[in-house]
Amino acid sequence: MVAYRYLGNSGFKVSEITYGNWVTHASQVDDDDAIATVHAALDAGITTFDTADAYANLAAEEVLGRALSGQRRESLEIFTKVYFPTGPKGPNDTGLSRKHVLESINGSLRRLGTDYVDLYQAHRFDAETPLEETFQAFADIVRQGKALYIGVSEWTAEQLREGHALARELGVQLVSNQPQYSMLWRVIEGRVVPASQELGISQIVWSPMAQGVLSGKYAPGGAVPEGSRATDRRGGAKFIESFLRDDVLAAVQRLRPIAEQAGLTMPQLAIAWVLQNANVASALVGASRPEQLAETVRASGIKLDADTLAAIDDALGDAVFADPEHTYSMAPETRLA
């Protein structure tokens, strides 16, 4: 079964493996298969589920809500997010203004079929809204009982410090950040993780398999597999492009004997690797088929020894993206429309 970790400096526990439904529900996967996959996640011991209002323009939340209908609510940890444009995408249908935040939480709760979410996250930093306005809205949501904790996604170390100070002033808990993190994409290690450790903020990391590249299914010099993330022009392909260089793909193939020596599959090695970081509370995984989760959850609780970790670093070498300046590329300078 899946192990649990505390989220930030709180008494709230989440499963080490979080099921996320970006680019799958209401998009790549039909609703019946999506619901079956959520039920497989529950059967495998995953109780933490992450979504966002922007996923499939509101529809992914609806699918997840239907999939979780009838489950004991107290036994689940449900996360969603606000920031990206939704609905008709008008001038106030985006960002972290008080208007958009308060309207968005009500819509998310309705679509998810729940009275509250465990974690409500700012999907990106909104440079066009005063941070005080955003956090006052978040604090009101917490006091209304519509969210229990507050988190963010892809915030820089400086933004985390400013947000954490405001949250404390308003008497609410900022407990998490949701950044991209994998063996190949380590940009949070230089600044974001040290700041988070100081502030009592955990990472809930997305793309621990580097958009599927760390599964080893992309061969250097070869065509991308049909139906893979690299062929998904609705959202997945642009995130995987930087990893599809032949030198990166060749380095990933050097991980195969390391995984075999550890008695793990390539996906299990990738997920276990991010969970070695004590500041990581959970690894976000998606699935298009129920059987994929049976393999994924076995990464929970795995301890990689020092020799294995060193061998991974040697195998990947210069293929790793580690420059902390890359964290700024994920933080928009203007509100996305």
Residues identified as active-site: 55
- Per-residue DSSP letters for 116-185? -EEEEEESS--TTS-HHHHHHHHHHHHHTTSEEEEEESS--HHHHHHHHHHHHHHT--EEEE--B--SSB
H helices within 20-97, ranges in order? 31-43, 59-68
User: For the purposes of burial, counting CB atoms within 10 Å of the CB of 303, is it exposed (0-12), middle (13-18) or buried (19 or more)?
Assistant: exposed
Rounded to 10°, the helix 31-43/59-68 angle is 50
Contact 49, 64 (CB under 8 A): yes
In the chain, the DSSP E strands lie at 4-6, 13-15, 17-20, 48-50, 77-82, 117-122, 147-152, 174-177, 202-205, 280-285
> What angle, 0 to 180 degrees and rounded to 10, lies between the N-to-C axes of helices 246-253 and 306-316?
150
Strand partners, 50: 20, 79
- Which residues are CB-contacts of 248 (< 8 A; sequence separation ≥ 6)? 184, 213, 319
